[in-house]
Amino acid sequence: MSTEKVLPFLEHLVELRKRLIVIVVAVVIGMGVSWNISTSVLDFVQRPLTGRTYLTEVKKQIYGEVKVRFPAVYDHYKLDKELNSPTKERKLNYSAPLEPFFIQCKISMLTGFLLALPVVFHQLWLFVAPALTRKEKKMAVPFVTASTISFCLGAMFFLVVIWPVIINFSISYESEGLQSWFNLSAYVNFCLRLILVFGLIFELPILTLLLARFGIVNGPMLGARRKYALLASAIIAAFHADLITMFVIMLPLYFMYEISIWVAYLFGRKKKKRTLDDGDGNDSLPVEA
């Protein structure tokens, strides 16, 4: 490898190290800020264990309609007994020394990462900025803002909508001979991993927007590859063991792909025709804007 090629490569590594150091420092500071609220975050994550979530309210409304319209069905399946069942107190359990402390560290680290997201995305932008044009560099603020909001929306969507579904489905298997006993580390690690997954899923339209603006992808290209996107979504989701978790990852991931197609159509680089004079002045070729 020639010296001319080695030097730029080393410069990129030095630049990458600089950006990573800033990101790590920002996450550590965010971790320190969020340490005191980590217990509140854990309480929020444990809330579905009571069995009282938004699903309970939806079920009440549906059963109420069944009681009015189909009283025989309501009485036959004893739906009133299910609605009036007492709230069961479930608690997380731990079996290793210092396990709650390390879980608190993990929660604080993820929360600190969320707080540091503007810094993280800004550093990523600065790393690729030298390869951009002056006009493209002006997209820094919209990129950082949209990326941060999208990641946070993905995390909140999971915690508020998807997480109660997963836990409710899990505790629905309880019976007289089968009792749930959730381990603290397994419960929290599973939740934190899916928070990151859904945050990244919601970043897909932002990534598509950038690639479309740079002319790398476009709407027709993405639209023609829907079946491959569906297959890729299933493969990515299949890394999670249970079927329910697989579907709650696959469906939002493919839905984000569909949104990405429209983003590419609406905000992608447009083609316009510009007359190129070949001597006769009659030839017209499409040229990228």
The reported pLDDT for the residue numbered 114 is 95
**Helix boundaries (H) for 35-116:** 38-46, 54-69, 71-76, 79-83, 99-115
pTM reported for the whole predicted model = 0.82
Residue pLDDT, tens place only, 123-161: 998 888 877 778 777 888 888 999 999 999 999 999 999
CA distance 118 to 22: 12
Task: Spell out the domain ranges in the chain.
Answer: 3-86+98-172+180-202
CA distance 93 to 100: 10
The reported pLDDT for the residue numbered 138 is 81
pLDDT in tens, the chain (289 residues): 445 455 477 887 888 899 999 999 999 999 999 999 999 999 999 999 877 777 777 877 888 888 888 888 877 777 777 666 666 778 899 988 999 999 999 999 999 999 999 999 999 988 888 777 787 778 888 889 999 999 999 999 999 999 998 888 888 787 777 888 899 999 999 999 999 999 999 999 999 988 887 788 888 899 999 999 999 988 888 876 567 778 888 999 999 999 999 998 887 766 654 444 444 445 444 444 4
Residue pLDDT, tens place only, 182-195: 999 999 999 999 99
CA distance 227 to 134: 37
Buried/exposed code over 166-195 (b: 16+ C-beta within 10 A; e: otherwise): bbbebbeeeeeeeeeebebbebbebbbebb
